Amino acid sequence: IEVDGRPGCIDVRHDLQTDALLMRIEGPNFDGLLAIVERARRVFDLSADPLTILGQLAADPLLRSGVRLGIRVPGAWDPFELAVRAILGQQISVKGATTIAGRVAEKFGRPIDGWSGYGLTRLSPKPVDLVDANLESVGLPRARASTIRSLARAVADCTLQLDASQGLEDVVTRLCEVPGLGGWTAQYIAMRAFGEPDAFPSSDLGLRKAAGNGHGPVSPKELERMARKWRPWRAYAAMALWNSSHQSTVNSHQSSVDSRQSETRRHNRTSRPGSTRGSDSHGKSQHR
């Protein structure tokens, strides 16, 4: 992290005994300790009212398998970094986006000393670092690189304020004024960077598939219609849908594994010497 131009490090862990998050802060005499704590609380969405959210969303059968007590929307320490990563992640895998984000930090981020023991060598690039950056050199398509440069320029010259002081509609409208930045990315940034509880990227394919409940993806407009009853907690509904989609994938994978194991056991039983099924005319087992 960087606070008032000084680099530092925070380490946050879940303490099972107290069921709380324990945070350790290391850095050069941070004066704004309370501000750091409050910022970390936003990263982990600790101000959410889990009982109220659960009470509304769990009533919907579509969300029931994915919503649970204590559901949170993970935030971000630096809204600009989150916005850049959201653009990097368009139409590629999470692994691919993470790789490119590392390249961007390595080439354009400011180097820092004294934190290599944590595996930290650079800070995330600031807007001014990316205004004229040759992002194509780290593997970005030209259109996506241009979008990041336009975003960096808008933030650097204060045309765009990346903070939570604006309402959801206003912040999405302002973000969509950046060339190449569309509704999905704007809603995702509002959800993750600003903690907007009603942000909802309705064009997200994963959400549309989960809402289809095994019958194929619904349209973005249909999903928006379905999501009306989840307001003002649509961001948490999105988390529930993503959770249920992930769980469905896990269950499907496990079912496939179980099926293969069952078939292997059946094959082994029918291939034992002396068995009738799978034996040739001389009583010898056939091995395929």
Per-residue pLDDT tens for 107-157? 999 998 888 788 889 999 999 999 999 999 999 999 999 999 999 999 999
Closest CA to 43 of 195, 235, 232: 195
Q: What is the pLDDT of residues 3-47, one digit of tens each?
A: 888 888 899 999 999 999 999 998 766 677 888 999 999 999 999
Return the CATH fold of 48-68+77-245: Endonuclease III; domain 1 (1.10.340)
Q: How far apart are the first and last CA of the chain?
A: 59
* pLDDT 10s digits, 218-256: 999 999 999 999 999 999 999 999 998 765 544 444 444
Question: How far is the C-alpha of 167 from the C-alpha of 125, rounded, in Å?
Answer: 27
Smallest CA-to-CA distance from 42 within 16, 84, 15, 12 is with: 12
Evaluate if residue 285 carries a pLDDT over 90: no
Q: Using the predicted structure, report yes or no on whether residue 278 has a pLDDT greater than 50.
A: no
Q: Give per-residue pLDDT as tens, 181-212.
A: 999 999 999 999 999 999 999 999 999 999 99
Q: What is the largest CA-CA distance in the chain?
A: 87
Residue ranges of domains in the chain:
1-47, 48-68+77-245
Is residue 284 very low, low, confident or very high in pLDDT (cuts 50, 70, 90)?
A: very low
Show the tokens assigned to 16.
């099972």
DSSP string, 106-136: HHHSPB-SS-GGGT--BPPPPHHHHTT--GG
Q: What is the pLDDT of residue 272?
A: 47
The backbone region for 284, taken as left when phi is positive above 0, alpha when psi lies in -120 to 50, beta otherwise, is beta
pLDDT-based confidence at residue 163 (cuts at 50, 70, 90):
confident
Round to whole Å and give the CA distance between 238 and 213.
Answer: 14
Q: What is the pLDDT of residue 33?
A: 86
Q: State pLDDT tens for residues 60-94.
A: 999 998 998 889 999 999 999 999 999 998 888 88
